[in-house]
Every structure is written in structure tokens, then in C-alpha cells.
Structure 1
Amino acid sequence: MAVPKKRTSKSRRNMRRAHDAISPVNVVVDKETGEYRLPHHVSRKDGMYNGKFVLKASTESEETKKGDV
């Protein structure tokens, strides 16, 4: 069984852990709808991306129908 010869110092341990921090998520406010979304993602309210319609916008009635099935 491998046993370390010397104890790892607090400084060396913390230097090793320096890259393990979780970076915050970059969230932007959509200009048209005002909702929060990730950059380079389609807006859920109106289905727009980069000023163009790319998806049919989902409505509340369609979402409730999906849940009833």
C-alpha cells in the first residue's frame, strides 16, 4: 500500500484545489421579452434567436395538454 513520505502542507493542498472552483453561469436578459436566458440560446417565450424566428413559441395551453397525456 502506498503511503506518503511527508505530510502535504496546507499551501500545497490549496494550490492543487485552486482550479476546482465552480464558475458562475453567464445569464443575460433577452432584449425583446425581458426574460433571463443563456447566451446563444433560443428564447422560450417567442422562439427567436438572433432576431429571427426559429421555433414555434410554446403557449401555456400546449404545455398543459402535454401534461394531461
Structure 2
Amino acid sequence: MAVPKRKTSKAKKRSRRNHKGLKVPPIVFDKASGEFKLSHHITPNGQYKDRKITKDEDSN
């Protein structure tokens, strides 16, 4: 059975586990709608990079 020869330091242990932390979602402020949104996603009103992406439902 493998037994460690030395005690694992706090820095070594934490650097091994540093990917387990919580990540902050990439939220940006949209100037056109005045709301916060996820970056690289369309806004609730259907715009992406100042262009209308989705069709209006009443234009059918």
C-alpha cells in the first residue's frame, strides 16, 4: 500500500483543488435594453450585437 513520505502542504493541496471553486457567470450590461444579460446570448427582446435576430409574432 502506498504511504506518503511527507505531509502534503496546504498550498499543494489547494492548487490541486483550485478548479472546484464557484465560477462567476459572464454577465454584461446591455446598453440598448438597459438590462443585464449573459454575454454571447440574445437579449429578451431578441437582439444580438445591436441587430434584431428573432421575428415579431404580430408580423405574421
Range of TM-score over shorter length:
0.5 to 0.7
Q: Select the structure that is richer in helix.
A: 1
Q: How many residues align?
A: 57
Higher strand share: 2
1:33 aligns with 2:54: no
Q: Over aligned residue pairs, what C-alpha RMSD do you find?
A: 2.4
Length-normalised TM-score, structure 1: 0.57
Whether the 8 Å contact between 2:27 and 2:39 is mirrored in structure 1 is yes
Could you list the per-position Cα deviations for residues 22-55 of structure 1 after superposition, in whole angstroms to 9, with x for gaps in the alignment? 22111111111111101111110x2111111111
* Identical columns (%): 39
Q: TM-score, normalised to structure 2's length? A: 0.62
Question: After the TM superposition, which segments of 4 or more aligned residues of structure 1 sit over 6 Å from their partners?
Answer: 1-6
Unaligned runs of 5+ in 1: 59-69
Q: Which runs of 5+ in 2 are unaligned?
A: none
Conserved in 1, the CA contact under 8 Å of 2:32 and 2:50? no
1:24 match: secondary structure: coil
Partner secondary structure for residue 42 of structure 1: coil
